[in-house]
Amino acid sequence: MTELKNDRFLRALRREPVDRTPIWMMRQAGRYLPEYRETRAAAGSFLDLCKNAELACEVTMQPLRRYPMDAAILFSDILTVPDALGLGLYFETGEGPKFRKTVRSEADLAALNSFNAEDDLGYVMNAVRTIRAELNGMVPLIGFSGSPWTLATYMVEGGSSKDFAQVKGMAYDRPELMHNLLSLLSDAVADYLAAQVRAGAQAVQIFDTWGGSLSAAGYKEFSLKYMQRVIGRLQVQPETHGVPVIVFTKGGGQWLPSIADCGAHCVGIDWTTDIAHARQQVGQHVALQGNMDPAMLFASPARIREEVGAILAGYGHGPGHVFNLGHGITPGVNPDHVTAFVDAVQELSPQYHQVD
């Protein structure tokens, strides 16, 4: 593989010294960019875009041509694993992802396809290999998966949900069935992430988008436990041992000490958590990623710069911070405001990494 020219993102994940705070952005390849909208239209559909390695590579590279990001992230979808398990993923305009089948009984669980990431999601691995070749060592490539709990919410609900009535009902009323589903998913996610690493991903992120919907006890039992299982499996495999893992639970700020003990190298925090408090709680154990409110990108460039400065000051001096939004970028953002955001991090952060 080509030597990495910019490794500050990987160094920050390991809490090693860097010259400035690295930055990337969740959903940095997405609808806020006109070139992305053009490519998606040419692809025909979102899933066709994900399954075409050349087009997935193209949209992964688009933000890197505009902005000096310190990492690229694979362009794909978190629901590839449930789709490969046989639930039939599709997208309704304006309604988000949906599945043709759900998992609400032992029979539904038994009917799921067997899963092998290399065979069943080969198009994702093709995309990873294509992107790594195109990056040519420019910046590291991040692979990702949804967390077992987050995947389960879609599989049980049949799509997005506002109240998670079906999946939480199963968890609390039929915990054995839920644990069996989550066990299957944690093994699948570990297999999937390991395959991405073998294909060329240099770090991985577990998106626990809906972990924050659970109670404190429910989070530990149904979400955190299974992310820890995924990470444990990655740590014992020679090809994935030592590859940095980021865990991001939206709404998980109240459980930071527990999350920091799950084995991940880095904990992503959303904008509702004060980064100074987060560092005080867990910053000696893990790196922190985040955490500007995505809506701040609708403000003026001057206000964006002010907020970047406040977050950098909140984290303070020293390594272990990856700058990011507290969740994915909103589609309607002006791309020029992202320029202001990235420029502010680059210009304001070196003072926090000076060695005395």
Is residue 7 within 8 A of residue 140, CB to CB? The reply is yes
> Is 27 among the annotated ligand-binding positions?
yes
233 is in an annotated binding site: no
Residue 31 known to be catalytic: yes
Residues 10 and 14: their CA atoms lie apart, in Å, by 7
Residue 121 has pLDDT above 70, yes or no: yes
Residue 1 has pLDDT above 70, yes or no: no
Could you tell me the pLDDT band of residue 180, with boundaries at 50, 70 and 90? Answer: very high
pLDDT on residue 93 = 74
Could you check whether 1-28+251-356 and 43-66+71-245 share the same CATH topology? yes
Q: Is the pLDDT of residue 216 over 80?
A: yes
31 assigned binding-site residue: yes
pLDDT of 51 higher than 90:
yes
Domain spans of the chain?
A: 1-28+251-356, 43-66+71-245
Q: Could you name the CATH architecture of 43-66+71-245?
A: Alpha-Beta Barrel (3.20)
Catalytic residue among 14, 31, 66, 233: 31
Quick one: average pLDDT of 98-109?
97
> Distance between the two ends of the chain, CA-based, in angstroms?
35
Concerning whether 132 is annotated as a catalytic residue, the answer is no
Among residues 14, 37, 40, 129, the one annotated as catalytic is 40
Closest CA relative to residue 66, chosen from 39, 21, 19, 28: 28
Mean pLDDT computed over 64-82 = 97
pLDDT for 289-345, tens place per residue? 999 999 999 999 999 999 999 999 999 999 999 999 999 999 999 999 999 999 999
Sign of CA dihedral 12, 128, 205, 90: positive
User: Residue 198 catalytic?
Assistant: no
pLDDT of residue 19: 97
Mean pLDDT, residues 212-233 taken together: 98
Q: What is the C-alpha to C-alpha distance for residues 200 and 135, in angstroms, rounded to an integer?
A: 11
**95 pLDDT tier (thresholds 50, 70, 90):** confident
Alpha carbons 327 and 321: distance in angstroms, whole number: 16
- How confident is the prediction for the chain on average, in pLDDT? 96
pTM above 0.95, yes or no: yes
Query: Do the annotations mark residue 77 as ligand-binding?
Result: yes
Q: Which percentage of the chain shows pLDDT scores above 90?
A: 95
β-bridge mates for residue 203, sequence order: 142
What is the tens place of the pLDDT at every residue in 190-215? 999 999 999 999 999 999 999 999 99
The pLDDT value given to residue 356: 56
Quick one: average pLDDT of 157-164?
92
Q: Which of 77, 108, 187, 343 is catalytic?
A: 77
**Buried/exposed 291-304: b ≥16 CB within 10 Å, e otherwise:** bbbbebbeeebeeb
- Catalytic residue among 36, 154, 219, 226, which? 154
Q: Could you report the per-residue pLDDT of 237-290, keeping only the tens digit for each?
A: 999 999 999 999 999 999 999 999 999 999 999 999 999 999 999 989 999 999
Residue 208's SS3 state is strand
Whether 27 is catalytic is yes
CATH of 1-28+251-356, one of 3.20.20.210, 2.40.430.10, 3.40.50.620, 2.60.120.40: 3.20.20.210
Residue 353 labeled ligand binder = no
Catalytic, 154? Answer yes
Cα three-residue angle 14-18-23, rounded to 5 degrees: 80
